[in-house]
Structures are given as structure tokens and as C-alpha cells.
Amino acid sequence: MNNVFSHIWRFIGLVAAQGFLFQAIAVKVGAYFNIILWPIFILLLPLQMAVPYLVALGCLAGFMVDFFYGTPGLHASAGAFTGFIRPWVILAFAPKGGFTAKELIFSPAHVSWPTFLQGAAGLLVLHLFWYFSVEAFTFVYLSTITLKTISAWVLSFGVTILYAILFNPKK
């Protein structure tokens, strides 16, 4: 039961930080200064969680972030996409024998730091590319989408590393 509460607190904390802190920074600084941290919630869900639950929780978290941003459905779409692709991203960085029962979540406490960083980087870049593609709603602006994705990835990945160091998620 304690495990469920840790995920609930992580959900609340990441959505609140995204909605109150990172959204305000993006508004004041500019369009190319986006820090999007909340997808880490999806990454840190239990490894054995089924894809429909990942998609639903990603969509729910996205709707909560959309409430703060005033962008109905944009973050929800990216969250659902991230929940859908998470198993394949994690599988790409899984050890040769797969994960054992002791790895509860995809965090540095359960997998190695390099594995966590590779998985987080992969998931975050796919999430951000989807997010900015849906925001533009056309690939005519592919150069702008790519530039926004790269700049947001650099900032978001730095904050993700800081989050993993400070909070050291174990459950």
C-alpha cells in the first residue's frame, strides 16, 4: 500500500511543479525555454504495469497539466503516447536477461544510472517530439518542432537528473 501512496505523491508533486513552477518560467522566458518534467511520472510507474493503465494514467496526468497550461488535450495526447511507448523504450535499455523481480520501477535505485539515463533520455525526447508536433499540428514547421524539442530536451533532461538525485525514487 505504501507503494501506491508514493506514486500518488509523485503524481501530485510533478503535476504541481509543472503547473505552478515550470509553466510560469516558460511564459516569462519564451517559447524555446520549456521544462517538461511530468513525463517522469510515467517512467517511474511499476515495470509490470499493463499498457492500458499506462496510457490512462499518462492521459490523466496530461489533462491535469493541460488545466494549468490552458491547452485542452495537448499534454493529455503526449501523456497517452508516452504511456503507450514506455514498454518499448524500457525494453530497448533492459539488461540481456531482462528485469528481475527486484526491479520495481525504472529508477537509478533499481537499474544502473546509465540505464536510467538512457531510458529517461529516450522517453523524454519521444514525448517532447510528440508534444511539439501536436502543438504545431503540421510537419511544415519541422525545423521549429525539432529546435523546440532539442532545447526542451536539454533543459528537461537536466531537471530530470536533478530530480533523480534529490528524490532518489525507490518505490
pLDDT digits (tens, 9 = 90+) for 44-97: 999 889 999 999 999 999 999 999 999 999 999 999 999 999 999 999 988 777
pLDDT value of residue 1: 43
> Exposure pattern of 113-152 as b/e (b: 16+ CB <10 Å)?
eebbbebbbbbbbbbbbbbbbbbeeeeeeeeebeebbebb
Angle at 121 between CA 141 and CA 156, to 5 degrees: 70
Q: Which amino acid is at 65?
A: V
Residue 110 has pLDDT above 90, yes or no: no
Cell of 133: 508536433
166 contact partners, CB below 8 Å, separation of at least 6: none
Angle at 152 between CA 116 and CA 43, to 5 degrees: 30
> pLDDT (tens digit, 9 = 90+) per residue, 124-154?
999 999 999 999 988 889 999 999 999 999 9
pLDDT value of residue 32: 78
Give residue 102's pLDDT band: very low, low, confident or very high (50, 70, 90).
Answer: low
- Between CA 47 and CA 60 the distance in angstroms is 19
Sign of CA dihedral 50, 51, 57, 60: negative
113-136 and 142-167 helices, crossing angle to 10°: 140
Tell which wins on pLDDT, 102 or 160. 160
